[in-house]
């Protein structure tokens, strides 16, 4: 349908087809990207209705289960880089959805926690969020979903030691 015929009538066709590679659209990164987007597309409308972005929601969820965390650990939990987290925390604090106070023992650290208002917001979002997750599980199959997550985890594991490129491994 969307197939494009060669159309040799093009007067000055530039270079192409010179670098043979795997079919791009079937690469692992693209598969992961598309799959994740297909999933997140389901959640975004509901979050948006409540004035939350995906990342803000991640932060609130990470905070909901604990009393307080340091920013660094929160970054690890919510899988955000420090600078992103720093900005988002500033905004969430301005909206009074979280609270921050510097640790007594170490003035460098600041402990972050969810506020009452944040808890209430979460409570208003959670039902719809759970419903969407349930629908995804229903469509894809609970067993298959668990298997997929298992395989994703193993993929992570198998790449764990491969480093960020310039860090020479120290233990051998």
Partner DNA sequence: CGCATTCACTTAACATGTTAAGTATCTCCC
Partner DNA sequence: GGGAGATACTTAACATGTTAAGTGAATGCG
The entry of DNA, a second copy, none near residue 84 (CB within 5 to 8 angstroms by kind) is DNA
Q: Find, among 57, 73, 71, 67, the residue nearest to 130 by Cα.
A: 57
CA angle 78, 79, 81 (to 5 degrees): 110
> Under the criterion CB under 8 A, does residue 13 sit at the interface with a second copy?
yes
> Under the criterion CB under 7 A, does residue 106 sit at the interface with DNA?
yes
CB 53 within 8 A of CB 47: yes
**CA 49 to mean position of chain CA atoms:** 19
Q: Which is nearer to a second copy, 65 or 170 (CB)?
A: 65
Task: Give the range of 15-23, 106-114, 117-125, 146-154 binding DNA by CB under 7 A.
Answer: 106-114
> Under the criterion CB under 8 A, does residue 158 sit at the interface with a second copy?
yes
- Interaxial angle between packed helices 54-64 and 71-78, expressed in degrees from 0 to 180 and rounded to the nearest 10: 120
**One residue of 44, 50, 61, 95 binding DNA per CB under 7 A:** 44
Task: Give the range of 2-10, 11-19, 84-92, 141-149 binding DNA by CB under 7 A.
Answer: 84-92
CB 171 within 8 A of CB 74: no
Size of the site for a second copy (CB under 8 A): 87
> Under the criterion CB under 8 A, does residue 106 sit at the interface with a second copy?
no
> Under the criterion CB under 8 A, does residue 113 sit at the interface with a second copy?
yes
Q: Find, among 55, 84, 85, 60, the residue nearest to 71 by Cα.
A: 85
Q: Which is nearer to DNA, 48 or 144 (CB)?
A: 48
The entry of DNA, a second copy, none near residue 86 (CB within 5 to 8 angstroms by kind) is DNA
- Which residues have a Cβ under 8 Å from the Cβ of 70 and sit 6 or more positions away? 103, 109, 110, 111, 112
């Amino acid at each position: 349908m969307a197939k494009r015929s060669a159309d040799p009538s093009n007067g000055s066709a530039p270079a192409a087809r010179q670098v043979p590679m795997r079919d791009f659209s079937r690469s692992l990164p693209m598969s992961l990207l598309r799959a994740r987007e297909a999933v997140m597309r389901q959640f975004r409308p509901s979050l948006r209705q409540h004035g939350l972005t995906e990342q803000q929601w991640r932060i609130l969820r990470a905070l909901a289960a604990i009393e307080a965390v340091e920013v660094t650990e929160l970054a690890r939990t919510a899988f955000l880089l420090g600078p992103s987290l720093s900005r988002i925390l500033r905004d969430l604090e301005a909206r009074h959805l979280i609270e921050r106070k510097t640790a007594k023992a170490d003035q460098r650290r600041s402990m972050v926690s969810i506020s009452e208002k944040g808890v209430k917001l979460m409570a208003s979002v959670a039902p719809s969020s759970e419903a969407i997750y349930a629908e995804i599980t229903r469509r894809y199959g609970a067993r298959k979903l668990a298997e997929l997550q298992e395989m994703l985890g193993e993929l992570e594991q198998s790449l764990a030691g491969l480093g960020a490129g310039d860090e020479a491994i120290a233990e051998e």
